[in-house]
Amino acid sequence: MGIEFHNYVSPYSFAMGVLWFSAFILLGLLIRKLKYPVMFSVVPLLLLLVLSILRMVIMTEIPGVVVVWSETLYPAVVNFFRHEIMPPIRVAHIFIFAWGAVTVFLTAKYAHEYISKYYFLMRWSVTMPRDEHAEALLSEIIGNDKNFRIFRSKAFNTAVATAFRPHIILPEIEFSDDELRVVLLHEWKHIQDKDYLADIVINIICFVFWWNPIVYILKRNFKFATELKCDGYATPSKQDFHYLLDGLVKLGNAEKKKARSLNVYNALVSKEDELVDRLTVMAMRWESRSKRRILVSVVYSIVIVALFFASYSFTILPIARDSPYVPAPAENLMDVCREEIGEVFRMEEMDIFLVDNGDGTFSYYVDGIFTMYVDAESDLLNWVEIRAREHD
């Protein structure tokens, strides 16, 4: 039987948010490595990326949630963060200070570098030669855009879509019109979907949760998903996929530009695993029927959404067993009452009080027995005695 919590956001709901956030990221990595779930559509992976972030942002607890009690690991973690280094400074205070300081430093450094590169690129674009042939080729597909520009530069060894302005920079490599069209469509999809904004958000998330090593997998999952999405947009036919392979050969290794697509694909296997994963998914996609791709994509998406909502159905809380100031744990108030005085009881006969934990939460006790945690917004604070925590 679970406890109906009065607190909706607490340190414990934050911990559950981090736990599920990490779990969803690892699930995205699994999907990416298995390839099968995304061979039909990139939608499930993109959906998982969005929901993993939402699970971290919406870290609330719902009334009636099922409580899973941790007797060893979780209490040890809680006690570690509550340990006083010197009164009233706890380990948690040091962690929060370091968390904020490093986050501000990383974010400021990223912002400075990003702005500097952006203005440098904008100034440099004035001197870079425009590729009017490429502009005309892409305009036939997307229509005219007075702000759209395509440049050529020897300083770049790959195609790049710039941020905030619809500019594409190509290396000094000769493409056929079909290869060039596929490369340009791939980069245009990045611009059209404003992937640079999502990239900024992902980087900020990595800066905020720098202490969680799993968060850096999120960045790789995002890159894989967006690149796969753009590959799919640029290659609506199987022939376009071969043009993409030929274009990648010229971008990656000019001396192999005359090699056949299959040989190129095999050569790439030992060079870049993530690129190989993308190309493998694209190659597998053409082996499946369109209706099947849609059906499987919908099924995977439904399962992911269901898992997201199921993550709110329970929470994990620590039991302070063998604590010098908590005589014994109890799962909920009714269990305590039945254990102490049977099915029929009167509240006024029981010693009910709250203990201030000093971190915005309070421990709820019945006859000296720990029952649950509540926060400063709980109605219990209005009618239950609050006592200071006693230390040895």
Report pLDDT digits (tens) over 179-196: 889 989 998 999 888 888
> For residue 203, how far is the Cα from the chain centroid?
10
Q: Which two tokens stand for residue 184?
A: 């340009």
Lowest mean pLDDT among 16-20, 84-88, 170-174, 330-334: 330-334
Lowest mean pLDDT among 6-10, 64-68, 93-97, 250-254: 6-10
Mean of the per-residue pLDDT values for the chain? 76
Residue 311's φ and ψ, nearest 5 degrees, are: -65, -20
pLDDT in tens, 301-322: 898 899 999 888 888 877 654 4
Q: How large is the greatest C-alpha to C-alpha distance in the chain, in angstroms?
A: 89
116 backbone φψ class: left, alpha, beta (φ>0; ψ -120 to 50): alpha
pLDDT value at residue 203: 92
pLDDT in tens, 91-101: 888 999 999 99
Cβ neighbours around 234 below 10 Å, total: 21
Contact 298, 41 (CB under 8 A): no
Q: Please give the C-alpha separations between residue 2 and each of 66, 67, 178, 314, 327, in angstroms, as whole numbers.
A: 4, 5, 62, 8, 21
Q: Which amino acid is at 159?
A: A
pLDDT value at residue 105: 97
The structure tokens 């439904």 sit at: 302
3-state helix, strand, coil in the chain (%, to 5): 55, 15, 30
pLDDT value at residue 242: 83
Q: Which two tokens stand for residue 314?
A: 């329970």
Lowest mean pLDDT among 188-192, 231-235, 260-264, 356-360: 260-264
Sign of CA dihedral 361, 366, 368, 369: negative
278 versus 19: which is more confidently predicted?
19
Q: What is the mean pLDDT of residues 120-147?
A: 80
Q: Which amino acid is at 254?
A: A
Neighbouring residues of 92: CB distance < 8 A, sequence distance ≥ 6? 81, 82, 359
32 backbone φψ class: left, alpha, beta (φ>0; ψ -120 to 50): alpha
